[in-house]
Amino acid sequence: MGEFIIKMPDVGEGVAEAELVEWHCKVGDPVREDMVLAAVMTDKATVEIPSPVNGTVLWLGAEIGDTVAVKAPLVRIQVAGEDGEANAVPMAEIVTHSSPSPQREEGARRADEGVSPASLSQPAPSSGPAGHRLPAVEKGRRAASETPADKPLASPAVRLRAQDGGVDLRQVTGSGPAGRITHDDLDQFLARGAHPQPAATGFARKTAIEEIKVTGLRRRISEKMVLAASRIPHITYVEEIDVTDLEDLRAAMNATRKPEQTKLTILPFLMRAMVKTIDEQPVVNATFDDDAGMISRHAAVHIGIATQTPAGLTVPVVRHAEARGIWDCAAEVVRLAEAARTGSALREELSGSTITITSLGAMGGIATTPIINHPEVAIVGVNKIMTRPVWDGNQFIPRKMMNLSSSFDHRVVDGWDAATFVQRIKALLETPALIFIES
């Protein structure tokens, strides 16, 4: 009896590791040639790893969710016949589900041409001025025009500064002999940005720069935005909603409201519609702790309301919107907005939201790309209500239209779920009576 080691195959150009997503065998299982043993995932492709031999599984090299380096042992199989490390082969034949990512196709295409992506338009370090002596394999494939003259003329110190500053020296005009770029040339280029000077006009140039230190709330906003934008892959879905009937209802309710009742805006209706929809779509009312790899789905609906204050953006939270009626929602929104603007909001009132609404009211624009309030997974953006012509089958009629621009964390919310959530809200807002019908 011998042992056969199956190693993690090279699943794509330049990928050094892949995540194990499925085992189709366990220790002790008999396996036949071509039987799928495991599946690993890279980018968007799932790759099945078949067995090249008949035998019995002795050992599995990873658990589901583990990241496995390319060429690391993955499965050991007991086979009849010779033993040997010589049997350790990276699998060459791999079966890919779903379409390969463009990158991989590109890689495959280049491989066909005998050119590795690493070498494309990137000559290896070479000798001679301007790196003109390419390795033998590169010779004969260079454009005839590529000469040392194409390299900007500058001292090593200037070139280093340019690298540090991300400046392409070919864009910089050199004032020195033979067009040499001096430190001064680079300074001037950096000072005026990478754009040529506009032609002289009657307008005076302004050169003053006001430096504003980012501190306090502005710094916290900045940090939070960077965290959200850099860690969360956003998908934004924009849909238009006919709010004519809703606006009629809102006007009627406001006309008959009691003195102690707060004037209704669109927001309370949207909040109630969201609560109703979250019952059916709990996936969007969640927080995602990506460090721990844990999603928490909340039964409570704590809706954050992004609010502009003189100091900047804050997000007071309407807690337990699921337990509040429409007037209660309206009152709480007004109360919290006021507290936020005057700086009297409590810590608890500014944290703990499970989903957020952002609305710029009349400034709402046609569409926005809201940034999710980390660690939530969804944010609903309200755009401006405008009267637009709508085709009713026979003619154009004026209708009050409003767009919702909503962003979702694409790691945990698929496009389908995002669309379903928004479509359900649309249905409720377009036939507003549905909001008030008990399920």
Partner 1 sequence: MKEIVCKLLVIGAGPGGYICAIRAGQLGVDTVIVEAVKAGGTCLNIGCIPSKALIHAAEEFERVTHMAQAKSPLGISVEAPKLDLSKTIAWKDGIVGRLNSGVLGLLRKARVKIVHGRAKFRDGKTVEVETETGMQVIRAETIVIATGSEPVELPFLPFGGPVISSTEALSLKTVPAKLAVVGGGYIGLELGTAFAKLGSNVTIVEATSQILPQYDAELVKPVSKRLADLGIRVLTGAKAKGLSGNALLIETSEGAEEQLAAEKILVTVGRKPRTQGWGLEELDLDRAGNFLRIDDRCRTSMRGIHAIGDITGEPMLAHRAMAQGEMVAEIVAGKKRIWDKRCIPAVCFTDPEIVTAGLSPDEARAQGYEIRVGQFPFNANGRAMTMLSEEGFVRIVARADSNLVLGIQAVGSGVSELSSAFALAIEMGARLEDIAATIHAHPTRSEGFQEAALKALGHALHI
Residues forming contacts to partner 1 in the complex (CB under 8 A) are: 7-8, 10, 13-17, 69-72, 90, 116-119, 122-133, 135-138, 144, 147-149, 151, 153-156, 159, 163-164, 166, 177-180
Question: Least separation, in Å, of the C-beta of 15 and partner 1?
Answer: 7
Q: 414 an active-site residue?
A: yes
Q: Which one, 41 or 367, has the nearer CB to partner 1?
A: 41
In whole angstroms, the minimum distance from the beta carbon of 317 to partner 1 comes to 38
For partner 1, the closer CB: 180 or 400: 180
Of the candidates 150, 184, 289, 414, the residue annotated as catalytic is 414
Of 30 and 102, which CB lies nearer to partner 1 in the complex structure?
Answer: 102
Check if the beta carbon of residue 394 is closer than 8 Å to that of residue 382: no
Looking at beta carbons only, is 91 or 318 nearer to partner 1?
91
CA 85 to chain centroid: 43
Please say which residue, 16 or 299, places its beta carbon nearer to partner 1.
16
Do β-strands 303-309 and 45-50 pair in parallel, antiparallel, or remain unpaired? unpaired
At its nearest, how many Å lie between partner 1 and the CB of residue 156?
A: 5
Task: Give the nearest distance from C-beta 52 to partner 1 in angstroms.
Answer: 17
Closer to partner 1 by CB, 116 or 369: give it. Answer: 116
Catalytic (active site) residue 245? no
Please state the length of the chain: 439
For partner 1, give the closer residue by CB, 70 or 331: 70
Annotated catalytic residue: which of 24, 132, 410, 417?
410
Q: Which is nearer to partner 1, 8 or 228 (CB)?
A: 8
Helix/strand/coil (H/E/C) assignment for every residue in the chain: CEEEEEECCCCCCCCCEEEEEEECCCCCCEECCCCEEEEEEECCEEEEEECCCCEEEEEECCCCCCEEECCCEEEEEEECCCCCHHHCEECCCCEECCCCCHHHHHHHHHHHHCCCHHHCCCCCCCECCCCCECCHHHCCCCCCCCCHHHCCCECHHHHHHHHHHCCCHHHCCCCCHHHCECHHHHHHHHHHCCCCCCCCCCCCCCCCCCCCCCCHHHHHHHHHHHHHHHHCCEEEEEEEEECHHHHHHHHHHHHCCCCCCCCCCHHHHHHHHHHHHHHHCHHHCEEEECCCCEEEECCCCCEEEEEEECCEEECCEECCHHHCCHHHHHHHHHHHHHHHHHCCCCCHHHCCCCEEEEECHHHCCCCCCCCCCCCECEEEEEEEEEEEEEECCCCEEEEEEEEEEEEEECCCCCHHHHHHHHHHHHHHHHCCHHHHCCC
**Under 8 Å between Cβ of 266 and 246:** yes
Tokens describing residue 1: 């009896």
Which CB atom, from 163 or from 423, has the smaller least distance to partner 1? Answer: 163
Residue 122 Cβ vs partner 1, minimum distance, rounded to whole Å:
4
Cβ 152 to partner 1 shortest distance, Å: 9
For residue 437, the minimal CB distance to partner 1 (Å) is 56
Q: How many CA atoms lie within 13 A of 293 on its CB side?
A: 2
Q: Is the separation of the CB atoms in 432 and 403 below 8 Å?
A: no
What is the longest distance spanned by two Cα atoms in the chain?
91
In the complex, what is the shortest distance from the CB of residue 90 to partner 1, in angstroms, rounded to a whole number? 7
Q: CB of residue 189 vs partner 1: minimum separation in angstroms?
A: 17
Burial of 288 (0-12, 13-18, 19+ CB in 10 A): buried
Tell me which residues are annotated as active site.
410, 414
